[in-house]
Structure 1
Amino acid sequence: MTQQPFSRPGAVDLSALQRPAGAPTGGAGAGAEGGAPAGGSAYAVQISEQNFQTTIEASMTAPVLMVFYSRSRMPESGQLADDLAALSGEFEGRFLAGLVDIDAVPSIAQAMQIPSVPLVVAIVDGRPMPLLQDVVPIEELRQALTQVMQQLTAQGVAGRHQPRGSQPAEGEEADEGPAADPRYAAAQAALAADDADGAVAEYQKLVDANPADAEAAAGLAMAKVLQRTRGVDLQAAREAAAANPDDVDAQTLVADLDLLGGHVDDAFQRLVDLVRRTSGKERDSAREHLLGLFGAVGNDDVRVLRARQQLASALF
């Protein structure tokens, strides 16, 4: 199926999905407000008109990844939905997988202005952002999700969803707050306060205490990107880089900005090209900066693996 750009930024207009009390709802998964577990995972839910609104609201606690699919029109998109549901269990609540069968609930696809299937949309704090528009192998999907979760953690988004359908034991109170990892609390609080310096310091403590903590290392690398780009004028930075193609500081700054803007491949390519054009201390500086960006994205990410090969070619 031909893919088209997903171009609906901002909040979703849910007014079309408001129904009178007691009105029947269609689509798979209708039932309890939170939706029954889907795909064999306690962190996946089949989306219906009844639970769509509450699922969007759940993104205020932790990310929701909605996958839009159609087994009749594109069977491969159904497999992507199954894979996302399975991986939601591996990530243990770091995200909730919302499975949207557009044939069963076409009104939701219309409200979200879905151009084609498959489409995976990340919803954070009620804001939808396109994440994936292709069917990919589950290993590649796992790597992409790992990178996304690392970036969100570095930006202070570290809540966890409760398992779907779980109920507190008799005499226990329900946990109304996100189950954040307490190790990262200080760093995440600094990020929430827009204190990049504080976040760098806190993540550095974690890395010093446990160099094998990949999540802390990724958080540190991303916090450093935020630190370096704080208060930077994007247009001025790009103009400076265009006017000085071999200026390491100008090029690395734009690479940082590209990374924050989601243009990961552009950021990597800019620095690989810079390594090719420079030598001596300038080349070393460009290479070290690129390695830092690899850490921010995640060393197992396919884009990092590809860029590492390009870097090796540029160096040798």
Structure 2
Amino acid sequence: MQPRNMSMSGVVDLAAVKAAGEAKAKAEQARAQRQDAGADAPAASPLVIEVTEATFESDVLQRSAEVPVVISFWADQAEQSKQLNAVLERLAGEYRGRFVLATAEVYANQLLFQQFGVQGVPAVFAVLAGQAMPLFQGLAPEDQVTEVLDQLIAVAEQRFGIVGQEVDPGTAPAQPQEPAPPRPATPQELALTAAHDALDAGDLSGAIRAYRNVLADEPANAEAKLGLAQAQLLDRVQGVDPQAARTAAADAPGDVQAQLTAADLDLVGGHVEDAFGRLVDTVRRTFGDERDTVRVRLLELFEVIGPDDPRVVAARTALARVLF
């Protein structure tokens, strides 16, 4: 697939002047503290780390005050994301500490996946002084990757005063073998890219059609399932007055459509447990076709959050109790 968002445009907008000044002060303070402690040379630290939701604060946010952190979202079944990780890992060694690579497996880190607004993998972001910015999505030629990394490093220094400290070659990760040249994209991959592009452009009806086309050929494609669920959710809440919808749901607990709309708004607003709880309660109160409609919508919302999320696991258990 061709990379998307292959640009550093928008970085200045994301990095407000106040935040840049604070970042410079933090970076200078950290360097002064190391000097006061007698640490003339920085202690060896890994240039490639595997980040989780539990370690994100320390491994990414805190570290981003001293060095640009590049986050690569990947999935085991997405071969291109693993190919890109191999390139980024090698480049992390070649750049010798001017950036740190953090890899995040999407199914193990659903909250990070959602918070960064990832639409598919591979997807690469950067964090500078605690501020996230998109770099690109899709498998990219190495010369384009290095161009973006060079821009990122320049912005980090000029805008934030953040300069990663050079690491001794002995502490750099072992050089992996040169990855095989990327294979040509398959028709299914091209269709998935078209679906992602439509979603990025706000063409929700086009994205829905495109994701359905992918699933018609590959019913088990997890990336297409997630994209379809997201596009359908956003399409349903377009133009909805949140206050009026919530009032209607509160006034009419038996109105299935009102509860479905309120649950969609709950999920978009980040109130995941409320959305799931509302629909489980609605399943409990309904029968026949209405019950099945609510059950199917709840399963669609599970797709948006991800099957391994503990809130989904808990809601599945609650749903099973109601149904059986």
Return the TM-score normalized by structure 1. Answer: 0.56
- Is contact 2:253–2:259 with CA below 8 Å preserved after alignment? yes
Evaluate the alpha carbon distance shift between residue 190 and residue 237 of structure 1 in structure 2; reply closer, same or farther with a 3 A threshold: same
Matched, 1:173 2:173: no
Is 1:145 aligned to 2:109, yes or no? yes
Deviation track 1:55-106 (CA, whole Å, cap 9, x = no partner) reads 4xx68xx78xxxxxxxxxxxxxxxxxxxxxxxx999949x99xxxxxxxxxx
Q: Does 1:159 align with 2:123?
A: yes
Partner-residue secondary structure (3-state), 1:173? helix
Superposed counterparts of 1:52-91, under 5 Å: 54-55=68-69
Give the alignment of 1:162-311 within 5 angstroms: 173-175=143-145, 176=147, 184-311=192-319
Q: Could you say which residue in structure 2 is the equivalent of 1:17?
A: 23
Higher CA-based Rg: 2
* 1:207-240 Cα shifts (integer Å, max 9, x gaps): 1111111121111111110111111111111011
Q: 1:184 Cα shift?
A: 3.1
The 8 Å contact of residues 153 and 188 in structure 1, kept in 2 or not, is answered as: no
In structure 2, distance between residues paired with 1:300 and 1:47 = 28
Question: Residue deviations 1:114-158, cap 9 Å, x none?
Answer: xxxxxxxxxxxxxxxxxxxxxxxxxxx975513642686675796
- Residue matched to 2:163: none
Letter in 1 for 2:223: E
CA shift in 2, pair 1:265/1:91, >3 Å? farther
Structure 1: segments with no counterpart, 5+ residues:
1-9, 64-87, 97-140, 163-171
Letter in 1 for 2:63: I
Of 299, 315, 321, 1:313 maps to 321
Give the CA deviation at 1:290.
0.8
1-side partners of 2:27 and 2:276: how far apart? 52
Counterpart-to-counterpart distance in 1, 2:282 and 2:266: 15
Aligned to 2:47: 37
Displacement of 1:241: 0.7
| CA–CA distance in structure 1, aligned partners of residues 255 and 40 of structure 2 | 58
C-alpha distance in 1 between matches for 2:40 and 2:209: 47
For residues 30 and 122 of structure 2, what CA distance do their matches in structure 1 show? 36
Structure 1 window deviating more from structure 2 (293-302 vs 303-312): it is 293-302
Following superposition, the deviation at residue 30 of structure 1 comes to 10
User: Structure 1 residues 174, 234: CA separation in 2 closer, same or farther (over 3 Å shift)?
Assistant: same
1:92 to 1:20, Cα distance in 2 relative to 1, 3 A: closer
1: CA distance, partners of 2:242 / 2:322: 27
Gaps of 5+ in 2: 1-14, 74-80, 90-104, 127-141, 150-181
Structure 1 residue 302, shift from structure 2 partner: 1.6
Distance 1:19 1:311, change over 3 A: closer
> SS at 1:250's partner residue?
helix
**Residue 196 of structure 2 contacts residue 227 of structure 2 at CA under 8 Å; is this kept in 1?**
no
Quote how far apart the aligned CAs of 1:190 are: 1.2
Q: TM-score scaled to structure 2, two decimals?
A: 0.55
Superposition deviation, residue 39 in structure 1: 4.2
Q: CA RMSD in A?
A: 4.6
State the match for 2:157 in structure 1.
Answer: none
Shift of 1:256: 0.8
Q: State the number of aligned residues.
A: 221
For 2:84 and 2:309, the matched residues in 1 are separated by 16
Aligned: 1:50 with 2:66: yes
CA distance in 2, matches of 1:154, 1:24: 31
2-side partners of 1:161 and 1:30: how far apart? 31
Give the Å deviation of 1:21.
11
* Contact in 1 for aligned 2:211/2:228 (Cα 8 Å): yes
Deviation at 1:312, TM superposition (A): 1.1
Q: Cα offset for 1:279? A: 1.4
Shift of the 297–39 alpha-carbon distance from structure 1 to 2, 3 Å rule, reads closer
Against the structure 1 CA distance between its residues 244 and 150, is the aligned structure 2 distance closer, same or farther, given a 3 Å change threshold? Answer: same
| Secondary structure in 2 matching 1:160 | strand
Structure-2 change in CA distance of 1:150 and 1:50 (3 Å) = closer
